[in-house]
Structure 1
Amino acid sequence: MRLFQRLRNKSSSSTSSGGSNYAYVTARVRAMKSNLLPKETYSRLMNMDLDEITRFIGETQYQQDVDELARKFSGVDLIEHALNRNLAVTFSKLIDISEGELNYLITEYLKNYDIWNIKTILRGKYYNATLEEIKDNLVSAGQFKYNFLSEIAEKQSYEYVIDALSNTDYYPILMNYDGTNLPDIENQLDKLYYQRLFNAIGTPKSSDRKLFSKLIRTEIDIKNIKTMFRMKKEGVEGDELEDLVLDGGLRLSLKEINSLVPLPFADFINSLEKYPYWDSISDFADPEMESLVDLETSLTKYTIKSASSFSHVYPLSIVPIMDYMISKKNEVNNLRIIARGKAANLGEDIIKNQLVI
């Protein structure tokens, strides 16, 4: 109980009323971004085995994480935990060095990792994953710390998990989980996250909040397009699909989405041509496509490029910070994909197709 009271106090103290230190944080972020791995690194990693990858990562900005966790883990588990820990520490640093409005917005944005971790634990229980499999995927970059998440993951059933989260803002949704309606609960958690994020942004008047809002709303569009393609491919139609999309998109309103949902798959794809995301998906959008990997990878690249382009135009705003967080998350995802692929003996082409470079 005291933990969540401290979290609420910290969140409420970081309001938009305090002065923000954008110049200082963006300068720090530029330095942090210079430590991101060059694109050509990934082709080098593809030619390494797991031990070589671990040694390589241990000579980069992940060195401390690898060194400290090597006493507990090895192989792909070591890489997973080192990457997740580094991401959590990095994003926590951004909260620690930011002030006022900037701190408030970053803190609210990073609560998506709290949602991620709750989903990860519940999915693990649902699919009877091992405790280590669940812990491998926990990323304590939000307000929930790793020890707390680890303790929850060790609970024997989803009922105990939900009870452990009874003092959080997510409990009113989680209490409706009956062990079978996981997709609905996950969707409600996502909607709550964006609702709270938009409440934090408010009616954007400052340029920073307008930019922040635009990035978030673009993110929602990308998520909705991915959701619609997945559900269309699986044959989900009508009200069931409408319930899975998120409100608040930049170019795709709920009204427009509701007009797209009933269309046959081919007509649905053709209707997307008028939106700015079409150039990113036109080469992959086909009713007969066997996999959505290429399409979803291209949409993720669109998100990264959008943040990067805004970052150059507005160098003293929240956008360069968002650009860095998105790029850092993508780097960790790419390294994780390579490590997992190597551990599973996947072919080089299969691994490469999942990378976002």
Structure 2
Amino acid sequence: MQLLQKFKRGNSKKSQSKGHANYAYTTARVRAMKSKLLPKESYPRLMNMSIDEITRFIEESEYKEDVDELARQYEGVDLIEHALNRNLAETFTKLLSISDGDVNFLIGEKLKKFDIWNIKTILRGKYCNASTEEILDAIVAAGRMSYTFLSDLAAKETYEEVISELANTEYYPILKNYDGTNLSEIENQLDKMYYIGLFEAISGSKSKDRKLFEEFTRMGIDLKNLITLFRLKKSGITDPEVMNLMIDGGLKCKLKETERLMPLSFADFVSELENNPYWDVISDVVKPDMDSLIDVETRLKQHRLKSAASFSHVYPISIVPIMDYMLSKQNEISNLRIIIRGKAANLEDDVIKEQLVI
């Protein structure tokens, strides 16, 4: 297939190779990239700016090339949104280009979540009869799949054509079961496949970097599952069948314990959380009658960032500083997106601030 060949050209043999990796070189480059992230002091300043002023501020930062490139097509909030997506894709593509061997392989495995995100986005678009342009607006080509390949997928008329073009990819065994109605089930299976792939990438290896990568990944699963559990409990969902939304393989939280908590009411769930390994992180913001989960989710995300930064200092020449940077970069873009969307929606500053992860 011509379309699949485009994907394969961007998915070179080098990108899938394992072996020796020059961590000293790669981590030095990554430290330089991290030094260009916006300092914490930037966010209070941005909160006091208009959308036009935020655009000018971003244009004078590391996002200048992205804003300039897209200014002919977009303006205002749309311009910033597209510039952020483009910058994230370019940044993570650069990580692949400056790495080799084992580190390149592990980064590539981590970035597959964007390939899965994009596949889900395209299928959702077809399900909702969205236009190609609308689908492309949500694409973030930060994984192995090139923007050209994804654009061609988005332009297909039907979901059957999309899946057909992915027939020789690792995602096809799941995608072939999509019948046009069971999208949420397919999306859940793809998400689980991502984590299974990460664990397969580190299986059978006793290297320090693979173990650190594993611990980093498992903590992420813990926090993802805990956030999902909070959302389910807050929504009053107690059906044991929703356990299929949980990801197996957490670092400190086992699915058996999560399954025990599932039938509980929100108030009972909260009272049982004192035994949770992450209770100290969220104890002062969790209440049986809490109206919103924003504070809980923000605390857990902050804990993830702090843990990554701490590990990065302990293991400065390893996979950890790279994972730390990837997490910090995504968080920066998320914060910028929260601010610009909040401004566009005329939200109160306090409402915007409580969603920022700083």
| Interval of TM-score (by shorter of Structure 1 and Structure 2) | over 0.9
Question: What SS is found at the alignment partner of 1:243?
Answer: helix
Deviates more, 1:126-135 or 1:194-203: 126-135
TM-score, normalised to structure 1, is 0.93
Please report the RMSD computed on the Cα atoms of aligned residues, expressed in angstroms.
Answer: 1.9
What is aligned with 2:272? Answer: 271
Deviates more, 1:344-353 or 1:184-193: 344-353
| Deviation readout 1:130-176 (Å, 9 max, x if unpaired) | 55443332111101112222332333443343333333221221222
Q: Which amino acid aligns with 1:245?
A: M
Check the 8 A contact 1:77/1:136 in 2, yes or no: no
Check the 8 A contact 2:218/2:249 in 1, yes or no: yes
Residue 98 (structure 2) pairs with residue 107 (structure 1): no
Check the 8 A contact 1:65/1:82 in 2, yes or no: yes
Q: Cα gap change, 1:159/1:293 in structure 2, threshold over 3 Å: closer, same or farther?
A: farther
TM-score, normalised to structure 2, is 0.93
Question: What SS is found at the alignment partner of 1:342?
Answer: helix
Alignment of 1:1-357 (within 5 A): 1-6=4-9, 9-10=12-13, 13-15=16-18, 18-127=19-128, 131-357=132-358
Distance 1:232 1:226 in 2: 10
Percent of residue pairs bearing the same amino acid type: 64
Deviates more, 1:272-281 or 1:181-190: 272-281
Deviates more, 1:173-182 or 1:70-79: 173-182
Q: Which amino acid aligns with 1:189?
A: L
Check the 8 A contact 2:240/2:263 in 1, yes or no: no
| Deviation readout 1:95-119 (Å, 9 max, x if unpaired) | 1111111111111111111111122
Q: Cα gap change, 1:9/1:32 in structure 2, threshold over 3 Å: closer, same or farther?
A: closer
Distance 1:64 1:195 in 2: 36
Q: Which amino acid aligns with 2:17?
A: S
Q: Which amino acid aligns with 1:216?
A: T
Deviates more, 1:3-12 or 1:299-308: 3-12
Distance 1:153 1:345 in 2: 32
Distance 1:222 1:266 in 2: 20
Deviates more, 1:105-114 or 1:203-212: 203-212
Check the 8 A contact 2:15/2:96 in 1, yes or no: no
Q: Which amino acid aligns with 1:114?
A: D
User: Runs of 5+ in structure 2 lacking a partner?
Assistant: none
Distance 2:122 2:281 in 1: 33
User: Runs of 5+ in structure 1 lacking a partner?
Assistant: none
Q: CA deviation at 1:204?
A: 4.3
Distance 1:159 1:47 in 2: 48
Q: Which amino acid aligns with 1:213?
A: E
Distance 1:317 1:280 in 2: 27
Check the 8 A contact 2:112/2:143 in 1, yes or no: yes
Q: CA deviation at 1:189?
A: 0.5
* Count, aligned residues: 355
